[in-house]
Structure 1
Amino acid sequence: MWRTVSDNGSGSILTVAILGAITALFVMLLPLYMGLATRQSVAGAADAAALAGADTAVGIVPGMPCEVAERVAAANGASIVSCDVDGLIVTVVAARMMLGVSVTAAATAGPGDSPVD
């Protein structure tokens, strides 16, 4: 006796497999996109902190450059890892934790006519 094989129900299995693959891809790519967004956010915080520190070093804003940079970075959700003042040039490294990984960015700011290394 010959037995015939039916394709009934194979579409459901294929649909479940495709949805599983799409879900797996989404789960793998989500942390990558979160990391890229966090990196841009930390870069913006570092830029703002360096500019605020440079404004303080020039004398536009009262205070100490690194203290002002720390306040600006904290207002942007980041913390200062290092702050270096070389005359009127301020270099800041800011960081933020994302999924247990430290995301860092550096920025340098100073007057337009000053040489930057």
Structure 2
Amino acid sequence: MAGDGGGGRAGTGRPGRDPAGRSGGARRGRGGRRWPGVSRGRGDGDRGVRDGGGRGGGDGDRGAATVWTAFAACALCVVFGAVLALGQAVAVRHRAGGAADLAALAAADRALWGEQVACAAAVRVAAAHGAELVRCGVAGGEAEVTARVVRGPWAPAVRARAGPASAVPPPPGPLPLVPPPPGTPSSPVPLGGVP
């Protein structure tokens, strides 16, 4: 098969090969597919260079996607860390608020027994909720406390007050009477509808 048109070796049946076994053009992958733009190196140190510019030509941005992916991953880690820190700060603030509210209720419950007993109850309740009582005061049945929770770099202090409900105004006078409709007995009916 010396006349196969591509300078191929006799007996191989493969066109496009010279007697040295090199192909004349693009390399072929498995199944005879061509790899566009890839040629077999033929010179000293010129292995597998893409057609179109020699060594480094056109490949100036190789690996740029890896760098951008690394930067994006780092940025996502920073944002994730900030969200976690903010969540921890909010959780600590809520814990301090709950401890202060319950400590104030405990102190107001014991307010009639004196400030010392009331504040001792508030200290116990705050400690049970993982907080420390910073300030406690009782005046006239009303207790005011400040509780603080320390978690990591956060130490929010929350103030709460509790005491008896303020005086409720007395109910208004008796309900006004509505005159009966015509043709009914003459006894007046209150607005609520119950005689």
Assess same fold via TM > 0.5: yes
2:148–2:156 Cα contact (<8 Å) kept? yes
Larger Rg: 2
Q: Name the CA distance, whole Å, in 2 between partners of 1:4 and 1:12.
A: 17
Structure-2 residue corresponding to 1:66: 119
Aligned to 1:38: 92
TM-score, normalising length from structure 1?
Answer: 0.83
1:113 is matched with 166
Q: Does 1:81 align with 2:81?
A: no
Identify the structure with the greater helix proportion.
Answer: 1
Question: Which residue is equivalent to 1:54?
Answer: 108
RCO comparison, higher one (Cα < 8 Å, 6+): 1
**Aligned residue type for 1:66:** C
Instruction: Give the unaligned 5+ runs of structure 1.
Output: none
- Give, in whole Å, the separation in 1 of the partners of 2:81 and 2:153: 17
The percentage of aligned residue pairs carrying the same residue is 35
For residues 24 and 93 of structure 1, the distance between their equivalents in structure 2, rounded to whole angstroms, comes to 34
**Letter matched to residue 36 of structure 1:** V
Query: Would you tell me which structure has more strand in proportion to its own residues?
Result: 1
Segment drifting more, 44-53 vs 32-41: 32-41
Unmatched tracts of structure 2, length 5 or more: 1-51, 168-195
Name the TM-score, length of structure 2 as normaliser.
Answer: 0.52
8 Å CA contact 2:92–2:154 kept in 1: the answer is no
